[in-house]
Amino acid sequence: MSQNLSQTFLAITRNSTDLEWLQGALAPLGQVVSAGGGSLDELLALVDVTFASLVFVGLDREHVVTQSALIEGALEAKPMLAIVALGDGMDNQLVLNAMRAGARDFVAYGSRSSEVAGLVRRLGKRLPPVAPNTHLGGLTVLYGVQSNADGALLATHMAQVVQNSGQHTLLLDLGLPRGDSLALLGLESSFHFGDALRHVRRLDATLIDSAFTSCDMGLRILAYASSDEPLEHTSAAELYMLLSALRQHFQHIVVNLTGQPDSEALRTFVSHCDKLLWYTDQNVLDCRRNLAVLNLWREKGLKLDHARLLVDRYLRSVAPDSDTLGKSFGMEVIATLTYSPEVRLNAKNQGVTLFELAPREGLTQSLRALGERLAKRSEGLAKPRIGWFNRLRGAQ
């Protein structure tokens, strides 16, 4: 889905520890996505949306019959798929069952990273090349550990600029506190993030036209409901399915994830976006919390070449300055946004955008420039077809 990763691998493992071991071993080659608990339908659907050609399937004595049947079923549906079994390397019976089911190879849990990566490289030379879907819309993520309304404020304005560039755009607001983007625009919604996850298999243009909230500018908004499960309870597989479905219907998606705690779901967004805007200010305490997450991800092998630093509420006379922050985070500073407390407060309290309230303000101009920069990443994508519901309403 993103150009940041060379490959995507799927894995069905015993637990999160095994998954993290595999992710660490294959971090130089690509992203390992959990394929859930072993449903054949879910696995095949994920193969379709991730274009994965290699799947890892864990085996154990208690469930080896079911697991072998899963391998056989996957290969029957996708003969070109390569499956590598995982298990206890000392259990010869597991190895035999894996080979009989059609697995290409067997890897013992806890094997050295170099051995696992070497095996994947060798298999990759024998597999047919996979062509990614170049028609998927752009995906920009705004993330920082701070939990406040400013994340939603910035994401909303950037998304509006992309929408105004002529691109069909979605703001996916999963930041904390929940639903601030809707409140900032004075909107209500009866269809939320949790609903989209539950209806991902029927997420088409008609459902989007009729259920997704939009503002006057035409920007679509999908936000958290107070009753939705926390993001960390959402599986990477569910998110991958949802993002793939949404990116087929929108030319650009701006995701607000500010305030979210570290989780596998959060890392899925970060790994598969085109541009990651790491959101911070000059507050040293917040910078430390951001750097703690950033350094952990780098230690885990997460690729962050697509990350840029966005410094908010910037005061030139206060240290650390933007150059120092850029060096500390090891990122290029994409923009610094002025503090402008009065303008921000009026925009939040009045439910009016900065473009209407203070179009000449430095903060407004910076957000417009940043949004235009994001829009250029997806301006060449074809506009999705308008659903019948919008046509009846006379939408353009």
Residue 265's CATH number: 3.40.50.300
The larger pLDDT score, comparing residue 220 to residue 379, is at 220
DSSP lists the bridge partners of residue 386 as none
Give yes or no for residue 390 having a pLDDT over 50: no
In a domain, 86, yes or no: yes
Q: What is the reported pLDDT for 271?
A: 87
Report the alpha-carbon distance of residue 320 to residue 336 in Å, rounded: 13
- On whether both 46 and 193 belong to a single domain, the answer is no
Last residue of a domain, one of 126, 153, 169: 126
Residue 131 lies in a domain: no
The type of residue at 25 is: A
Residue 78 maps to a domain: yes
Task: Give residue 4's pLDDT band: very low, low, confident or very high (50, 70, 90).
Answer: very low
Are residue 239 and residue 359 in the same domain, yes or no? yes
User: What is the C-alpha to C-alpha distance for residues 143 and 42, in angstroms, rounded to an integer?
Assistant: 29
Domain that holds residue 273: 138-375
The answer to whether 234 and 199 have CB atoms below 8 angstroms apart is: no
What residues contact residue 80 under an 8 Å CB cut-off, 6+ apart?
53, 127, 128
Domain match, 80 and 144 both: no
Q: Is residue 173 part of a domain?
A: yes
Q: Let me know whether 104 and 224 are in one domain.
A: no
- Is residue 380 included in any domain, yes or no? no
Report residue 237's pLDDT band, with 50, 70 and 90 as the boundaries: confident
Residue 396 pLDDT level (bands cut at 50, 70, 90): very low
Domain co-membership, 104 together with 186: no
272 and 369 fall within a common domain: yes
User: How many structural domains does the chain have?
Assistant: 2
389 in a structural domain: no
Q: Are 28 and 9 in contact (CB under 8 A)?
A: no
How far apart CA 289 and CA 280 sit, in angstroms, is 10
Domain boundary among 73, 101, 126: 126
8 A C-beta contact, residue 191 and residue 213 = yes
* Together in a domain, 213 and 87: no
Examine the domain organization and report whether 62 and 190 are in the same domain. Answer: no
State percent of the chain over pLDDT 70.
92
93 and 117 share a domain? yes
| pLDDT band for position 6 (cuts 50, 70, 90) | low
pLDDT in tens, 285-321: 999 999 999 999 999 888 899 999 999 999 999 999 9
Q: Is residue 108 part of a domain?
A: yes
* Dist. CA 244–CA 271, nearest whole Å: 14
pLDDT score for 5: 44
Alpha carbon distance 93, 95 (integer Å): 5
The CATH number of the domain where 112 resides is what? Answer: 3.40.50.2300
Separation CA 185–CA 159 (nearest Å):
13
Whether the bond between 320 and the residue before it is cis, its omega within 30 degrees of 0, is yes
Residue at which a domain ends, from 92, 126, 160:
126
The model's pTM is 0.87
- Residue 175 maps to a domain: yes
- DSSP-assigned letter for residue 273: -
Compute the CA torsion angle 310, 313, 317, 322 (nearest 10 deg): -10
pLDDT score recorded for residue 348:
94
3-state secondary structure of 106: strand
276 and 299 inside one domain: yes
Q: What is the pLDDT of residue 307?
A: 97
Is the same domain home to 106 and 185? no
**270 and 336 housed in the same domain:** yes
- Which residues are CB-neighbours of 110 under 8 A, at least 6 positions away? 21
In the chain, the largest separation of any two C-alpha atoms, in whole Å, equals 72
Residue 79's identity, in one-letter code, is: P
Residue 259 identity (one-letter amino acid): G
Residue 396 is given by DSSP the state -
Give tens-digit pLDDT for 17-38.
999 899 999 988 988 999 987 8
Residue 140: strand, helix, or coil: strand
CB-based contact 280:268 (threshold 8 Å): no
pLDDT of 93 higher than 90: yes
